[in-house]
Structure 1
Amino acid sequence: MSELFNYAYQLIFSNALFWVVFFLAITIFLFVRSKVRMDAVALLVILAFSLSGILTTEEVLSGFSDPNIILIALLFIIGEGLVRTGIAYQVSEWLMTASKNSETKVLVLLMLAVAGLGSFMSSTGVVAIFIPVVLMICRQMNISTRRLMMPLSVAGLISGMMTLIATPPNLVVNAELIRETHQRLSFFSFTPIGVFILVIGIVYMLFVRHWLAGTESEKGEQPNQYSMKELIEGYQLSDRIKRVVVRTGSDFVGRNLEELKLRSLYSVNVLAIERWKHFRPVFYSSELGKREVKEKDILLIDISDPKFELSQFCQYHNLEAAEIRRANFSNQSKSMGMVEITPKPESNSLGKTLAELQFRSRYGLNVVGIKRNNEVLTGNLIDLPITAGDLLLVVGAWKLIQDMRSKASSFFMLDYPAEIERAVPAQSQAPHAIFSIAVMVGLMVTGIVPNVVAALIACLLLAKFRCIDAKSAYNSIHWASIILIVGMMPFSIALEKTGGIKLIVDFMVHTVGTMGKHWILVSLFTLTAVIGLFISNTATAILVAPIAISLAQYLQLSPVPFAMTVAIAASAAFMTPISSPVNTMVLGAGNYSFSDFVKIGVPFTILIMLVTVFLVPVLFPF
């Protein structure tokens, strides 16, 4: 053993491997300190390897040409498509309905839903969607958020073990397997293991949730949020907003809203049109003036004249008044919203009426309320001159509200309400999004085209069906993650080029190689999990995957179980709140401490290691 360490010492300090190890130590140190952005550290790694001459320019920048980098970027876009079409939120709403008042049931359904969605989109994105849902459930059930936030993060991490595309480490390991052995993992290679671990995870969290019991002061806690409900109450809109159904034979049918002149004749402002398409309601809240009214349309109207008689209006135009339910507001808040604005000092809008400003024509939004000196103004708002300090409540499509922030030079926009996080600008395209995802999964499973091509086809279909636009597609890509992966790739190349991988493999062969195949998998899992405490799971997979595959080749065993072990261990980042962004996101929302993650995560990681070590060789023989 001493001869091995002497050999290692001479090898490291006599060639470029010393500098590779030095760069790696500095990188881990910077990651742990968190003083420099991780993507910036990755760029420094690229610069260091380039200036040192250890790698050529082509080798340093090889990550930018890696198909898996493109695939990861495309998967970000696909995940955004699921959010924009409301599919992700429909799952979360189903969870709230189905769970009712059973904490056990909500925990099981929550983990199943998160793991299922996370199989096809970013686990970070899924957890971000479900955090407000969990907060609402905890408030309704009067339980501490500590009891459900940890299961949420655990399910998010387990989702990375469900499919090949579920998390970047899976793709990194598969890419290394292809590069070294020309073998590949299938789309559902991870699924049997992931499902088994998910079941164990649910049972485990049902048991250990009692370790996370909160205090009475923490029960049902929820941060104060500025909501549309508060705006509706604050501007006294509850009695003014009504729904009317356009009946057969109505004189509204076949005419657009500009022709009807409802605002000038009746002081009635149409805020949205609800129309059933493909067995589900679709809400139109932009460009209403030119939109033709059809039979069975439901008009959401704002009545500003207190003397207005709705019953007479409906009878005259063959309409039918409809009740406004809570579900109506829930559905409409995904496509349309409201926000307060105020005129800028010395703005040319001061002293002018909304009609003179052509506010609706210019911004596509309706002003449904005006506050002056904390008093709500009544009457026909369109003819009221705007004064300094007025607060105007505008209603319309979320996209137009967001566009107004950059376009409106005469108004300040106050903070968005909480519902903007649930905005679904392409809700009507949900069936098309499901079809696009199904096409991608089908192509990946059958292997007709490479995975990156299948994902590209799905993205183009999402664009074709208007599930996503170019701006939201580019904005959805988490470029920091892309740069991090690209910047860490030179380490695996440099370790192989300078003999570092061979050195580690030799060390593992001498230490655990004679102890049996399962002990080798234990050592690989432990190595991956420990490194994952300090750097991201993606960077960990980049470093350990070539070691695992080289070790398998040295022992003349199948590299697949070794690669699978590394991929699963990379996703098992349960032990600290900084091991994964998923853990970090629930840290504050769940009011957790560092020790909570250690207490829950360490035993669970050991449990997953045992499952992996014994299950992987059964499914993927040596």
Structure 2
Amino acid sequence: MNFDLLLVLALLATCVGLFVINKPRMDVVAVLAMVALPLTGIISVNEALAGFSDPSVVLIAALFVIGNGLVRTGIAYRLGNWLVRSAGSSETRLLILLMLAVAGLGSVMSSTGVVAIFIPVVLSIAARMEVSPRRLMMPLAFAGLISGMLTLVATPPNMVVHSELRRAGLDGFSFFSFAPIGMAILALGIAYMLLARRWLGSDIEPTAPAEPRDTLSVLAQRYRLPERERRLRILHGSPLANQALDELKLRSQYGINVIAVERQHKFRKLLIIATGNTELFVGDVLLVDLASPAIALLGAYQELGVESLQLNDSYYGDYSNELGLAEVALPPDSRLLGKTIQQLGFRSTYKLNVVGVRRQHEALDGVLVDEKLKPGDTLLVAGSWKHIHRLQGLSRDFLVLSLPAEIDDVAPAASRAPFALLGLAVMVGLMVSGLVPNVLAALLGCLVMGLFRCIDMDSAYKSIHWQSLVLIVGMLPFALALEKTGGIALAVSGLIGLFGDAGPHALLACLFLLTAVIGLFISNTATAVLMAPVAISTASQLGASPYPFAMIVALAASAAFMTPISSPVNTLVLGPGQYRFGDFVRVGVPFTLLVMLVSVMLVPWLFPL
């Protein structure tokens, strides 16, 4: 072992130690490594910075953008809503569908993002079914990790290993190379969690009180909206047909405030947020707020040619991705004080409806358009989330007091969902066909989403997890430095010396365990960067195919089931699932061993040695 190798190993050990204590941040440690390695003279500055031009790094960045497009267009949330409907009251059905949905979505976008999306969904379902979140949160996390074993683009370690194969002059993995093994592990994971959930407890444990945050339901109750909400369908012969709302004066003459319009368009239902220019047609369903529930008894419905339809739940809840509420106050110098809502032309000016007014902590009843606004009044406004956000910029006249929790789940480009699926299909199709390199396929998918406004440049840049990219770029020089100083050759000879006589299957198992154990202390991406060259060099020394060895490293890098800190996915569910460290050890260690067993059996069969 020469001095240069000792120096590189010391730097690597220092980085690993800093990763473990998480001080400073991992990306800062990676930058320090990029600076330190060239100073040793072992690699050049160009070699230390070469990761910034690595196609895998660009590909990972593009995949963050693709995933953001799926979130912005509501595809991810619609999948969650489908899960709620399909699960019914069966916990077993819920667990199976949950793991399938998370794994499927995670195969084309960040598993961390997918798990973050599903946590509130699972919590709400657990509360409704009176099931402990402990029985569902760990299956959610495990499915997120298994999703990394389904496709080439599912997780950065897969692309790191693929890139290492290409760097060695070999063909990389195809888009679905991982799928047969990943599907088998997913089936194993579902069966395992159906049994292991019993180890997680069944009692609903009290959680520490969190800082309260208003929801749409809370805001609606505060202003007494539920008792005034109605759905009215426009009938043939109605005087409302083919008229704009401003011309009808429904609010001032009848006390009917139209919030939105449901309209059937070909094969789908559209929600149109009402403005003064909104034109009504026969068959439209009006979502209205009544000044008084007695309006129907006064013959207004018959006069207007409408019929009342059943309203099972609040339409604010049904359309929470499109229709929002916000509570606003009027500052002392607001230009709106002393004026009525009618005088303000609130709907035409701000594209929002005032659906409630509170004065001295009491919600006002009756027709609000003629009510003069006073200092201390708070207004409840309804409309599109875009216009609610815009209201925040009018600081002189409005002070937005609270935005409901549902705003976190809003899909600002929901109408563009078909185009987001088109962009995803373009990317996957090109990757599967091999017509262009994977990085170009991903960039073309991003361009399609941008062309159809599923994403914009600001959201695209914000969606990229720069910390992960810098971490990859910072760790790549270590692989080169270890190769130059003989570190990889030393590791390979050690592996072969210890397990070479036991056969290739034993070597694969050893590689899996070594990768999984290293992944307990540093990120799975950094683990893949370090272990991929070792795996390929080991295969070369044995005269075996490099593909099963590379595949084992990729699978093991995603098998971060053993501790709550071995993956961000596990850390996310730690609090909501009310888990302790030992829960992951008790459930995760046996499952990791099962995954290793399945991988060592299947990988050599699918990728002959």
Both structures adopt the same fold (TM-score exceeding 0.5) = yes
Seen in structure 2, the aligned counterparts of structure 1 residues 198 and 267 have a Cα distance that, compared at 3 Å, is: same
Partner of 2:269: 281
Partner of 1:612: 599
Give aligned pairs, total. 609
Partner of 2:45: 57
Partner of 2:64: 76
CA deviation string 1:22-79 (max 9, x = no partner): 2211211111112322222222222223444433232222222122222212212222
For 2:84, give the aligned amino acid: M
Instruction: Quote the offset at 1:397 in angstroms.
Output: 1.2
1:500 and 2:482 correspond: no
Specify the SS of the correspondent of 1:410.
coil
Partner of 2:256: 268
1:412 and 2:399 correspond: yes
Seen in structure 2, the aligned counterparts of structure 1 residues 312 and 484 have a Cα distance that, compared at 3 Å, is: farther
Partner Cα distance (2:286, 2:457) in 1: 31
Q: Which moved more, 1:254-263 or 1:555-564?
A: 254-263
Contact 2:72/2:414 (<8 A) preserved: yes
Contact 2:216/2:316 (<8 A) preserved: no
Partner of 2:174: 186
Partner Cα distance (1:539, 1:24) in 2: 11
Instruction: Quote the offset at 1:205 in angstroms.
Output: 0.9
Partner of 2:105: 117
Partner Cα distance (1:203, 1:124) in 2: 23
Partner Cα distance (1:47, 1:285) in 2: 54
Q: Which runs of 5+ in 1 are unaligned?
A: 1-7
1:583 and 2:570 correspond: yes
Partner of 2:151: 163
Q: Which runs of 5+ in 2 are unaligned?
A: none
Instruction: Quote the offset at 1:301 in angstroms.
Output: 1.8
Seen in structure 2, the aligned counterparts of structure 1 residues 365 and 479 have a Cα distance that, compared at 3 Å, is: farther
Partner of 1:421: 408
Contact 1:135/1:222 (<8 A) preserved: no
CA deviation string 1:342-385 (max 9, x = no partner): 23354444444445555434432222111111111134434433
Partner of 2:221: 233
Specify the SS of the correspondent of 1:394.
strand
1:558 and 2:545 correspond: yes
Partner Cα distance (1:485, 1:57) in 2: 16
Partner of 1:154: 142
Q: Any residues of structure 2 matched to 1:85-484 within 5 Å, and which?
A: 85-218=73-206, 226-285=214-273, 288-304=275-291, 308-309=295-296, 312-326=299-313, 328-355=315-342, 359-484=346-471
Seen in structure 2, the aligned counterparts of structure 1 residues 75 and 256 have a Cα distance that, compared at 3 Å, is: farther
Instruction: Quote the offset at 1:505 in angstroms.
Output: 1.7
For 1:54, give the aligned amino acid: I
Specify the SS of the correspondent of 1:396.
strand
Specify the SS of the correspondent of 2:563.
coil
For 1:616, give the aligned amino acid: V
1:514 and 2:501 correspond: yes
Partner Cα distance (1:54, 1:285) in 2: 63
Partner Cα distance (1:474, 1:297) in 2: 40
1:568 and 2:555 correspond: yes
Seen in structure 2, the aligned counterparts of structure 1 residues 494 and 411 have a Cα distance that, compared at 3 Å, is: farther
1:30 and 2:54 correspond: no
Partner Cα distance (1:255, 1:43) in 2: 63
For 2:26, give the aligned amino acid: M
Seen in structure 2, the aligned counterparts of structure 1 residues 197 and 307 have a Cα distance that, compared at 3 Å, is: closer
Partner Cα distance (1:122, 1:566) in 2: 19
Contact 2:328/2:402 (<8 A) preserved: no
TM-score normalised by length of structure 2: 0.94
Identity of matched residues, %: 53
1:42 and 2:30 correspond: yes
Q: Which moved more, 1:592-601 or 1:32-41?
A: 32-41
Contact 1:306/1:379 (<8 A) preserved: no
Specify the SS of the correspondent of 2:194.
helix
Partner Cα distance (1:248, 1:411) in 2: 41
Seen in structure 2, the aligned counterparts of structure 1 residues 103 and 338 have a Cα distance that, compared at 3 Å, is: same
Partner Cα distance (2:590, 2:129) in 1: 29
RMSD over aligned Cα, in angstroms? 2.4
Q: Which moved more, 1:568-577 or 1:380-389?
A: 380-389
2:585 aligned to which of 598, 604, 607: 598
For 2:250, give the aligned amino acid: L
TM-score normalised by length of structure 1: 0.92
Partner Cα distance (2:156, 2:183) in 1: 19
Specify the SS of the correspondent of 1:106.
helix
CA deviation string 1:229-286 (max 9, x = no partner): 1221221112222222233444434433333343444443322122223522222227
Q: Which moved more, 1:381-390 or 1:505-514?
A: 381-390
For 2:14, give the aligned amino acid: I
Specify the SS of the correspondent of 1:505.
helix
Partner Cα distance (1:493, 1:251) in 2: 77
Specify the SS of the correspondent of 1:181.
coil
For 2:18, give the aligned amino acid: L
Partner Cα distance (2:203, 2:587) in 1: 18
Seen in structure 2, the aligned counterparts of structure 1 residues 146 and 307 have a Cα distance that, compared at 3 Å, is: closer
For 2:169, give the aligned amino acid: T
Partner Cα distance (2:575, 2:24) in 1: 22
Seen in structure 2, the aligned counterparts of structure 1 residues 240 and 216 have a Cα distance that, compared at 3 Å, is: closer
For 2:95, give the aligned amino acid: L
Contact 2:252/2:369 (<8 A) preserved: no
Q: Which moved more, 1:440-449 or 1:85-94?
A: 85-94
Contact 1:136/1:222 (<8 A) preserved: no
Instruction: Quote the offset at 1:616 in angstroms.
Output: 0.2
Instruction: Quote the offset at 1:201 in angstroms.
Output: 0.8
Partner Cα distance (2:22, 2:356) in 1: 46
Partner Cα distance (1:28, 1:99) in 2: 43
Partner Cα distance (2:59, 2:224) in 1: 50
For 1:337, give the aligned amino acid: G
CA deviation string 1:202-225 (max 9, x = no partner): 111111111110435459x99965
Seen in structure 2, the aligned counterparts of structure 1 residues 527 and 257 have a Cα distance that, compared at 3 Å, is: same
Contact 2:333/2:396 (<8 A) preserved: no
Instruction: Quote the offset at 1:195 in angstroms.
Output: 0.6
Partner Cα distance (1:165, 1:301) in 2: 46
Q: Which moved more, 1:560-569 or 1:31-40?
A: 31-40
